[in-house]
Structure 1
Amino acid sequence: MPTSLLQRRFGLPALSALCISAALLAACNGSDDSASTGAGSTSATAAATALAVVKPVMDCAQLASVDLTDIGGAGSTITSAAVTTTTINGNTISMCAVKGTLAPSNTFEVALPVSSWTQRFAELGCGGLCGNLSDPTRQSAFSFTYNCPLVQQGGFVTAATDMGHSGNGTAWTTNEQQQADFAYRGQHITTLAAKKLIKAYYGQAQKYSYFVGCSDGGREALMAAQRYPNDYNGIVAGAPAAHFQIQNSVFHGWSVVSNSTTGNSSGNSVLYADKIAVLHRAVLAACGDTPDGLISDPRACSFDPASIACATGALDTSACLTPAEVAAAGKIYGGPLDATTRERMQIGRPLPGSEGNWVGVEVPSTSTSTGAPVAVSSGVFSYNIVTGAYNLIFTGSPTMPTIDNFGYTDASFYSTYLAPNHPLYDATNPDLSAFQKAGGKLILWHGWADQHISPRYTIAYYEAMQNTMGQSTVDGFTRMYLVPGVGHCGGGEGLANIDLVSQITGWVEQSNAPDSVMSYRTDTAGNVTASRPVYPYPAVAQYKGSGDWHDGANYTSGAPLYNVRTPAWAGAMFYTPYTPKQQGVATPL
């Protein structure tokens, strides 16, 4: 499949840095203006930077001799250990870059600061189906650039992995061990290797460990909390593809068939970029409730595409939707129902206000043109489902339905095709009691205008945690932030730069539980042009009614706009406690 489609669907490789780092970008607000950084932000940052710098006790090159076979098994090796330099917002940082392989095929790299380590470690998630190794020494590639002292001064040891396979090929899907490495093992053993290298290089263990990821990196983050509750003190999980199998089957597939003139892969697209612009303007006009027209909680928006339907017999349809376009938009928003029970097959679809991000995902990148294939909007999903290349991800056998005979309206699809590997790939176990008892802290975040993964799935997971563990317990170690107008792991019309990693370090290290967190919009030169607080779910930011609405100081916490819990749906059974599936080489604890 062309890499460009992988990039559009899952952020590989160009968006992998964004998917890994949109939450790291969250750590990077070093503003000293307490009025504009939100409650607790300044004190959390100041306290977090107070840890002493620890210097190495050996030369970087000596790390090449560290034995990692106790972690990865026979064949694990370090291939290089050398000092390199990186520039972060004008600061030149020296790093000891250690590269190697954890058997059988997990390529990894650990970046250890030579003279600026503040006793912190951060494992970085990877996006999409992984298969690429992002360079952790190039911290600017992880958006470590938003005035974050801990990052700009080289305070973190960072590590990354390709999670057991290289490139966008399909061979790994037939390999049981590589399936396990992608599902859960790769990040864990990389973390163990990084911690062993830290101990060797600095003569002491890290004081605090963190995981930061978005998209599949968000799934990896939740997988860590569920399977390895002692690996990290704090976790930031952005736009998690937690229900990996649903995401890569009925969710993406429905986007394809709902925008097809024939309802299958042989048709042309119905909606194109030009009409998406018409639709988006109408949605914001109807439901925008912020000074800049964004939607604070799209679930409270009851917009009907039929409200902008073209008049019967209209000759000019450029500013309205034809009947076919109205129907396609309604399907994209609504999702399918079980044909017999009328039960919802999906609980989350792209939400009102996200339309501006649909181009290249739910609809083609081009404007109206005759004959454009619907497959251009299908990304990885149609490739998987049509060719059968990734069928083993789901069922363990090449019997997966094609995109044209998929069980979109038959809830038995879940038990037949997705249940067998649900405990392997999915990260929807709501029982995080072991992580909570270990003192772990979790921040979930999602952009309301996400075009790839619906924030309703993250809400469903958060509610499942409350149902399983009790709301007061969840409130003690988890926060969730939903950001208006922000797309998948960033981007969109919203204020996409938010401070979350400094929040997680302050919470872990100083017990400063996060409250409001300021989000920012910046221009191409990096100058802040607007700010607005984001409050722990379900509260929303409310303009006070006076003062510059671009200034976050002129907002306060508003009451929730939507109070309905996630309704019943066909996949709800996957959001109850379950025993994780393990396969292949035993994983070190």
Structure 2
Amino acid sequence: MRVSWLALAVPFLAGAATSEMPARQPADDIDARCEALIGMEITPGTTIVAASHVPPSEGGSAPQAGAPPLPPLPGHCLAEGMIDPHQGADGTQYGIGFALALPDDWNGRFLLQGGGGMNGVVQPPIGPVAAGSNPALARGFAVLSHDSGHKGAVFDASFTRNQRAALDFAERAVRKAAERGKPITAHYYGREINHSYMTGCSTGGREGMLAMQRYPELFDGIVIGAPAMRPGFSNFGVEWAAVQFNQAAPRDADGLPIVSQIFSAADRETILKGMLDQCDALDGRADGMIMNVAQCNFQPARLQCTASKTDSCLSSPQVQALERAFAGAKDAAGYPAYTQIPYDTGIVNTDGPIPGYLPNGAPGVFGPASRALSVDVDARLQQLRADGNARLTDTHVWTNLSTFLGRQGKVMFFHGVSDPWFSAFDTWNYWQRAAEANGDAFTEASRFYMVPGMMHCAGGNAFDNFDLLAPLVDWVEKGVAPASIDAGREDSPARRPMCPHPAYAHFEGGDPDSAESYSCRQPAEINTPAPS
């Protein structure tokens, strides 16, 4: 199972474990030492309200209904507390709630765990993102998670009516959680932290970008997955696409589009087969996956029926809808409103709470499927640009990373090519602009990994089981820069190298299930969008 605690925003990415050399705590009464934290205000404005020792577990149980089972975890002190509590004008209580896991065998490292959605919940502090089947806590990291300053459902934004809560979510909570959690960690162990890290996907990815951009002294290394850099714009990209698809739909008696009938099951198979026919073998092997992302130049027009519509071809309205939807909207001056969307195998998916990019008529996490037939692009862009909360949370624009890079900070990005919420090209666009702004200092201190077939943070027909935390630690602490990353998939022995984009895993011959049968190659041509 690969369902996250944060509406798929914080997945497990199972992969190889890393070897650590933890420093065992002194053999005293760990229970008493842990409980002694209760009531402490180690830093002003931060109070620990609960603390108890958690014995080692073998895993298998879920922390809450609908969540995946926890992996095996070591014994640790679990401290829970509140940072800067305050009361809103309506009487609602706010403050940055947090949980800090302090392992019995600490390796000297601290990790801040990113959130998901609109946060609002303190998730189990284990550090699962891009850490394989061996999360950060199991490796000996002290791990802190937080709710970003409010309580509520994952996609409930009502807290933003409170100024302080909105500011905490937008940026302050990341800094405060790290700055307050580190002294607690050092106090508990009686020694300073050696290195600090952060990992997150979706909102957690945005929080990682926020830390890198605005608080460059906080962390030595950061893993950023599918970042929600500018969700208002990505949501508008989805809105635009829905309108284009609806224009190709049959209409009901009221003239409204019947969304469930835009693409039949046969149409989806035709689209999938067409993408694979045009792009699959570009990686040296036809295996049902598009590994050479940069060179894929899928042309829907080649699937258009030459006569009457059949199950093996697409109608002209369907082809035009695909072309417009994936190209993205442009404003009156011709500038992109949002980045292009990649053509990838997951766009035809119909299963799960977050299906692929093609509409199926089913309600999504934000409500019923859109039946709109038009949208005013410039008016919507004006609304987005005037949204104060969106401007505060935006991490798409800022590229001056001189302080982070000057401190020898390292960052690793990953993004599923089939992500139906945030375009992988948008994150790649940021990476390219950051490279332009910072030159070799950035390209030598960062890596970007496209994950073909992967949906939002995990899932899909993908090699989505990988570990970025171990190579990040080696990079920060040993100077060993990562290249390809060994990746696997659920319920399969097959392995494949994950290459820094735009390189891809090219089949060289031999056992197709062995990572050794592939090499990282540069594409013959690049069709991914240039930075804008």
- Please state which band the TM-score falls in when normalised by the shorter chain: 0.7 to 0.9
Q: Tell me the number of residue pairs that the alignment of Structure 1 and Structure 2 aligns.
A: 492
Q: Is 1:541 aligned with 2:512?
A: no
1:479 to 442, 447, 470: 447
**How far off is 1:50 after superposition?**
3.5
Aligned to 1:430: 399
Aligned to 2:218: 231
Aligned to 1:551: 514
Unaligned runs of 5+ in 2: 61-70, 86-93
Secondary structure in 2 aligned to 1:493? coil
Aligned to 1:585: none
**How far off is 1:533 after superposition?**
1.1
Aligned to 2:326: 333
Q: Is 1:258 aligned with 2:229?
A: no
2:58 to 76, 87, 97: 87
Q: Is 1:307 aligned with 2:302?
A: yes
Q: Are the aligned partners of 2:450 and 2:501 in contact in 1 as well (CA < 8 Å)?
A: yes
Cα 1:549–1:98 shift into 2, 3 Å: same
Cα 1:500–1:112 shift into 2, 3 Å: same
After TM superposition, the structure 1 = structure 2 runs for residues 490-509 of structure 1, keeping only pairs within 5 Å, are 490-509=458-477
Secondary structure in 1 aligned to 2:345? coil
Code of the aligned partner of 1:313: S
Code of the aligned partner of 1:267: P
Cα 1:220–1:296 shift into 2, 3 Å: same
- Residues 304-361 of structure 1 show CA distances to partners (whole Å, capped at 9, x for unaligned) of 22322345334xx3333233332332232121223x3333322232433332346535
- Residues 70-102 of structure 1 show CA distances to partners (whole Å, capped at 9, x for unaligned) of 2xx4xx532211112333588552121111222
Q: Is 1:349 aligned with 2:341?
A: yes
Q: Are the aligned partners of 1:254 and 1:335 in contact in 2 as well (CA < 8 Å)?
A: yes
Secondary structure in 2 aligned to 1:99? strand
CA distance in 1, matches of 2:27, 2:200: 28
Cα 1:352–1:363 shift into 2, 3 Å: closer
1:417 to 374, 379, 384: 384
**How far off is 1:494 after superposition?**
1.9
Q: Is 1:155 aligned with 2:126?
A: no
RMSD of aligned residue pairs (Cα, Å): 3.1
CA distance in 1, matches of 2:376, 2:150: 30
Secondary structure in 2 aligned to 1:127? coil
Q: Is 1:296 aligned with 2:287?
A: no
CA distance in 1, matches of 2:297, 2:383: 34
CA distance in 2, matches of 1:217, 1:330: 31
Secondary structure in 1 aligned to 2:334? coil
Code of the aligned partner of 2:412: I
Q: Are the aligned partners of 2:114 and 2:200 in contact in 1 as well (CA < 8 Å)?
A: yes
Q: Are the aligned partners of 1:351 and 1:454 in contact in 2 as well (CA < 8 Å)?
A: no
Aligned to 1:35: none
**How far off is 1:266 after superposition?**
5.2
Aligned to 2:68: none
Cα 1:266–1:61 shift into 2, 3 Å: farther
Aligned to 2:77: 96
Code of the aligned partner of 1:301: C
CA distance in 1, matches of 2:130, 2:467: 12
Aligned to 2:173: 186
**How far off is 1:217 after superposition?**
1.0
Q: Are the aligned partners of 1:442 and 1:478 in contact in 2 as well (CA < 8 Å)?
A: yes
Structure with the higher fraction of residues in helix conformation: 1
Aligned to 2:183: 196
Structure-1-length-normalised TM-score: 0.76
Aligned to 1:399: none
- Residues 16-65 of structure 1 show CA distances to partners (whole Å, capped at 9, x for unaligned) of 431xx44xx4xx413xxxxxxxxxxxxxx45xx24534458761011112
Code of the aligned partner of 1:333: F
CA distance in 2, matches of 1:334, 1:203: 56
Code of the aligned partner of 1:551: S
Q: Are the aligned partners of 2:243 and 2:374 in contact in 1 as well (CA < 8 Å)?
A: no
Secondary structure in 2 aligned to 1:548? coil
Q: Is 1:121 aligned with 2:110?
A: yes
Unaligned runs of 5+ in 1: 1-6, 31-44, 366-371, 387-401, 573-589
CA distance in 2, matches of 1:93, 1:510: 26
After TM superposition, the structure 1 = structure 2 runs for residues 437-586 of structure 1, keeping only pairs within 5 Å, are 437-470=406-439, 472-523=440-491, 528-544=492-508, 546-563=509-526, 566-567=529-530, 572=532
Code of the aligned partner of 1:439: Q
Cα 1:272–1:231 shift into 2, 3 Å: farther
Cα 1:319–1:510 shift into 2, 3 Å: same
